[in-house]
Structure 1
């Protein structure tokens, strides 16, 4: 009787390892997570609603105040009384002579004087220190304008307001969403969640997802602000101003896209150097300063053409400087293209450097990682 040898059992087969998501899919997974977290935040939704209502209210109130303001005052002599006779929106004062009319302009009694002149129209406007744009627009044909005491700029106040608006929108969006990215990065390091995430996706995909997700939120907020501004201008009958601002706003949106991505990449990279929330402000302060500088430059040097020209080519300030120069007509047609090319090239460079810093610092906890060590890897 022969013994039978039992069959040898083989080693159990290992379950198949789940396939890792690709670059695009991994990036989008993180972006969706960032979007969901922010859109579920009541503080974010409430603050956005308050911001939009404040913008709409400011435009409506400004339009009401401008419509209820006193009519422009002009002086006219016997030879030019027919020019302003019947023009709606003008308060006319009759002067006995040209000298008397100019005296009324100099002492501030009237905003301008309509005086005879050897021109095709047969008259001209005489003003004190700036061209009376409202009076010119009310006349059917724009007459020549003579300034008794020429100023530096005819559009100083309006350009100041537009520059402030561009600066505030870029500054608030970059700092708000950039700080959100920084806090998210440090929170994941501090709680060790990043170690779980990196077992599924790469560090570059994680950084790209955070930048893409918050960029979508920032662009969405900008779109809502633009829509609310259009609504406010339409309600108050300021469609003409919207037509003047249209090209500048369009270029601002284009520059904002690349400028925000550049700032967001810097926030993510610098935040990866630390492991505690208490250190976020100190490590990201250089980036915040880069965003603040253009805001203050446009406040104090709004009328300085040289500084505005330099700002329009510096990547961190181009989203403010170039649209403002386009609105004022100070930039040639090719300048925004060159400035945009410089901004895009700088953004790509910063993304490359930032992703290296981010990847080499993300798993280092404890003491702050030195920038030199993060670049070396």
Structure 2
């Protein structure tokens, strides 16, 4: 008689929860970084103060420039009679156009107004003569739109060059140090409190690094755009539309270079911070990266009109975000140079991000003494 053996049903083990995709993990970490920063009162207050300082510096500079006294101008014939007594103008009457031009070239007056040679009787057709630009107050004082003749190609004044260099330098420096330091602090806090062990059980180290870089890059880029918009509004309010149009291309390139350059620096900040496990040791590992941010700032301030120094800076990845926009503003860069400089910056960023991800991943779970760079680079 045959017997049948009852088979015991196999106990099914619960399926492990699928790991989140890389993109979803990066999005979650980036959103966490952005949310935590926006909830920080210190960050919000410091951002508002920075905005107010930018706006105040632009408005005060415009008011000071307006209160420098009457504008000296030369005028010929009936034009002198028309301008005599108008506020903001110090009129010197001369008999001929040649004498008016001579006063402009010698710097005795800022501009001159003369009747056109083919002017109709009454002398209503007027020509304004300037050296490198036409005095705006003279153009506004005339009842008609005059023809403008410039005796020399316009050049950017040293004060404006310094102002633009200071703007690019300080914005790059403050944003890089502020948000780079935030990344470093976050990395060390997660290692010190062992939170990183929980995070790595759910997502990869590459996703964690990418999320931190993306989140802080969004914050830094958003702050830069807000400063640029506020500066543009300030220039329009004080009537510096010409300077605003000159700054437009260089600011656009600055935003592009900064967006890529900050990713490079953010990866270095995160990788450097992963080498230590205590807040007390952060300063020592971040010193080289801080120098890479400080050196371009000081170079662009002290050598803002040195073509050789700016040329070298525009091709060094760590200084290109300030060096190349300055050359574009000064119109000393060929059309292809920003593209080559950008390509060098992108290639360097890719290499640094790859190396930084390796250092970051190999150092996150190692606590205690500082991890040596050579050990962190090994698989």
Q: Could you state the TM-score of these two structures normalised by the residue count of structure 2?
A: 0.84
1:228 aligns with 2:227: no
Q: Report if aligned partners of 1:73, 1:92 keep a CA contact under 8 Å in 2.
A: yes
Aligned to 1:282: 284
Q: Which runs of 5+ in 1 are unaligned?
A: 126-130, 148-152
Q: Report if aligned partners of 1:90, 1:135 keep a CA contact under 8 Å in 2.
A: no
User: Aligned pair in 2 of structure 1 residues 226, 104: CA closer, same or farther (>3 Å)?
Assistant: closer
Q: Report if aligned partners of 1:136, 1:143 keep a CA contact under 8 Å in 2.
A: no
Q: Report if aligned partners of 2:270, 2:356 keep a CA contact under 8 Å in 1.
A: yes
Q: Report if aligned partners of 2:128, 2:147 keep a CA contact under 8 Å in 1.
A: no
- Cα separation, 2, equivalents of 1:104 and 1:20: 75
Aligned to 1:32: 31
Once the 2 structures are TM-superposed, how far is the Cα of residue 279 of structure 1 from its aligned partner? 0.9
- Cα separation, 2, equivalents of 1:112 and 1:158: 18
User: Aligned pair in 2 of structure 1 residues 123, 61: CA closer, same or farther (>3 Å)?
Assistant: closer
Aligned residues: 358
Once the 2 structures are TM-superposed, how far is the Cα of residue 251 of structure 1 from its aligned partner? 0.9
- Cα separation, 1, equivalents of 2:309 and 2:134: 29
- Cα separation, 2, equivalents of 1:123 and 1:8: 106
Q: Report if aligned partners of 1:124, 1:146 keep a CA contact under 8 Å in 2.
A: no
1:115-167 Cα deviation digits (max 9, x unpaired): 99xxxx99976xxxxx66453895645545479xxxxx752221111111011
> What RMSD, in angstroms, separates the aligned Cα atoms of the two structures?
3.4
Q: Report if aligned partners of 1:312, 1:318 keep a CA contact under 8 Å in 2.
A: yes
SS of residue paired to 1:363: coil
User: Aligned pair in 2 of structure 1 residues 113, 46: CA closer, same or farther (>3 Å)?
Assistant: closer
Once the 2 structures are TM-superposed, how far is the Cα of residue 280 of structure 1 from its aligned partner? 0.8
- Cα separation, 2, equivalents of 1:215 and 1:62: 31
SS of residue paired to 2:91: strand
SS of residue paired to 1:73: strand
Aligned to 2:51: 52
User: Aligned pair in 2 of structure 1 residues 138, 282: CA closer, same or farther (>3 Å)?
Assistant: farther
User: Aligned pair in 2 of structure 1 residues 41, 122: CA closer, same or farther (>3 Å)?
Assistant: closer
SS of residue paired to 1:315: coil
User: Aligned pair in 2 of structure 1 residues 83, 145: CA closer, same or farther (>3 Å)?
Assistant: farther
Aligned to 1:177: 179
Once the 2 structures are TM-superposed, how far is the Cα of residue 222 of structure 1 from its aligned partner? 1.2
Aligned to 1:135: 135
User: Aligned pair in 2 of structure 1 residues 123, 362: CA closer, same or farther (>3 Å)?
Assistant: closer
Q: Report if aligned partners of 2:191, 2:365 keep a CA contact under 8 Å in 1.
A: yes
Q: Which runs of 5+ in 2 are unaligned?
A: 115-125, 140-145
1:12 aligns with 2:11: yes
Once the 2 structures are TM-superposed, how far is the Cα of residue 206 of structure 1 from its aligned partner? 0.6
- Cα separation, 1, equivalents of 2:127 and 2:208: 70
- Cα separation, 1, equivalents of 2:368 and 2:152: 70
User: Aligned pair in 2 of structure 1 residues 296, 328: CA closer, same or farther (>3 Å)?
Assistant: same
User: Aligned pair in 2 of structure 1 residues 233, 10: CA closer, same or farther (>3 Å)?
Assistant: same
Aligned to 1:376: 378
- Cα separation, 2, equivalents of 1:81 and 1:367: 85
- Cα separation, 2, equivalents of 1:10 and 1:374: 49
- Cα separation, 1, equivalents of 2:82 and 2:371: 75
